[in-house]
A and B are shown apart, each in its own frame.
Chain A
């Protein structure tokens, strides 16, 4: 099993969710996050004084998947979230040791 963590532009969340839904992905956890990458921040102005916004808002998706689903999920996220402009985000993939469904106590692939 793998855990996919994807950082995308906030306004792309809906499209990514739809693309994953079409693949049959059973569940996604979404968080509003802030951070910086190559896009860096930008300067704003308040009453004539400049200030820097170093951390830009992004959407973070966390998706637990069976190994054979990973490639198609990555492709779907990439296709849906890409604008071609700086700041499109990143996808991190890590190994997932176990998954437990709290309602039934099922574990492993059954619980995904």
Chain B
């Protein structure tokens, strides 16, 4: 092995791992965003869900998820070793670095679900679903897309012109599809919708925390998209990484500005929570292809996501689909937009391929999730009791408040 190759291998592996660590930090962003947008009586429980789902995702993807998605053995038993000589397809990074980068994406997909079902779903039903989602449902569609496997032996998405660079569809649309299935079986929070079609506001408890969460997600996204170049130690890949960072940032900015302006025009006021959703929508919109657009195109794609997300959130409320943090709109509706924008700048993809890919992901994840949620509903129930919902799930599920007051040391 030449010295220069050793250097390339070390640098690519290091870059891959650091990008994975940035994506891991997105779990903190989701936790803060969701904790900020729920009421204070549901804070401890949403934090518990967020950090526990991360651990469940990491464990299930280790047990079987990675093997289902990319082949190899369960428990990662054959993953150690050298990516340059040991693997079937030679790579410039360690195989275990690939696992580490992939596993944090699984956790991201699952984090999307927790926000949509917040404030009313049982903790243990949610974690049971996380086991199925991260060990089986996500890895299956991951195998058909990034894994290159045919869909149930029928067709191969890559051959049809499907392209999803960092996962607008594979991660974000998938997470939102699972969330939608859960919300449909779960129902809306008590008091969200009135008997005469009124949509009632249930304001989030902590907007500084929601804003911090959005900043953290924005930062983590550089790892999400930037790491998806898979390499940085050559002039070509270093240039690609720089473009991806530039475009990812531009899209977030475009999405935020667009949502801020749309909210001001629609409501007469600058709605901060819509604005935060706008930044995330911009990021989701560019994730399917951050490497081919110009910086201006990336800004406009992000802005399209920022406009769409506000109208999508309002439309879902019309259908009484209660999503406290807007996750289905941000990741699902805008995830689909992101896939459909790819052929505008990437000649290697086609609209038909993107549509078939999006439909495949949605039908599989939504359908399989519906079955999984349905079984959990029959076995243990998905929803806390009405009394527990009014008291807050912090006490009902975790037995502790996030901000205890008037406590006595006596038992």
Stretch from B76-84, B121-129, B196-204, B347-355 forming part of the interface with A: B196-204
Whether, in the assembled complex, A105 has its beta carbon less than 8 Å from a beta carbon of chain B, the answer is no
Most buried by B among A44, A46, A51: A46
User: Do residues B266 and A48 form an inter-chain contact, with CB atoms below 8 A?
Assistant: yes
Chain A: interface size category: under 10
Contact: A47 with B273, CB < 8 Å?
A: yes
Q: Mark A32-53, 1 if CB is under 8 A from B, else 0.
A: 0000000000001111111100
- Let me know if B271 and A45 touch, CB within 8 A: yes
A51 and B201 CA atoms in complex are apart in Å by 6
B200 and A48 within 8 A (CB): no
B314: interface (CB < 8 Å): yes
Most A CB contacts (10 A, CB to CB) among B201, B267, B273 go to B201
Total number of B residues with any Cβ neighbor in A under 8 Å: 17
A45's contact among B269, B313, B314, B326, by CB below 8 Å, is which? Answer: B269
- How near does chain B come to A33, taking the closest CB pair, in angstroms? 17
Alpha-carbon distance between A49 and B322 when the two chains are bound, in angstroms: 13
Task: Give which listed residue, B203, B204, B268, contacts A51 with CB less than 8 A.
Answer: B203
Contact: A48 with B203, CB < 8 Å?
Answer: no
- Residues on B with beta carbons closer than 8 Å to the beta carbon of A47: 201, 271, 273-274, 313, 326
Verify B271–A49 contact, CB threshold 8 A.
Answer: no
Task: Across the interface, name the chain B residue whose C-beta is closest to A51.
Answer: B201
Contact residues in B for A44 (Cβ distance below 8 Å): 201, 203
Chain B residue at minimum C-beta to C-beta distance from A48: B314
- Indicate if B317 sits at the interface (CB-CB under 8 A): yes
Kindly identify, within residues 254 to 270 of chain B, every residue whose CB is under 8 Å from any CB belonging to chain A: 266-269
Chain A residues with Cβ below 8 Å from B273 are 46-47
- Contact A46–B317 (Cβ < 8 Å): no
Tell me, in angstroms, the Cα distance from A47 to B269 when the chains sit together: 10
Distance (Å) between the CB of B373 and the closest chain A CB?
A: 25
User: What is the chain B residue whose CB lies nearest that of A50?
Assistant: B201
Residues of A within 8 A of B201 (CB): 44-47, 49-51
Interface residues of A in 20-72 (CB under 8 A from B): 44-51
Measured between alpha carbons, how far is A46 from B274 in the docked complex, in Å? 9
Q: Which of B199, B204, B268, B269 contacts A49 (CB 8 A)?
A: B199
Interface string of B179-216 (1 = CB under 8 A from A): 00000000000000000000111111000000000000
Chain B residues within 8 Å of A51, by CB: 200-201, 203
A45 touches B200 (CB 8 A): no
Can you list 30 contacts pairing A with B, beta carbon distance less than 8 Å?
A: A44-B203, A45-B201, A45-B267, A45-B268, A45-B269, A45-B271, A46-B201, A46-B203, A46-B204, A46-B271, A46-B273, A47-B271, A47-B273, A47-B274, A47-B313, A47-B326, A48-B199, A48-B266, A48-B271, A48-B274, A48-B313, A48-B314, A48-B317, A49-B199, A49-B201, A49-B317, A50-B201, A51-B200, A51-B201, A51-B203
- Seed contacts A46-B202, A48-B199; 7 additional CB < 8 Å A-B pairs: A44-B203, A45-B269, A46-B201, A47-B201, A47-B313, A48-B267, A48-B313
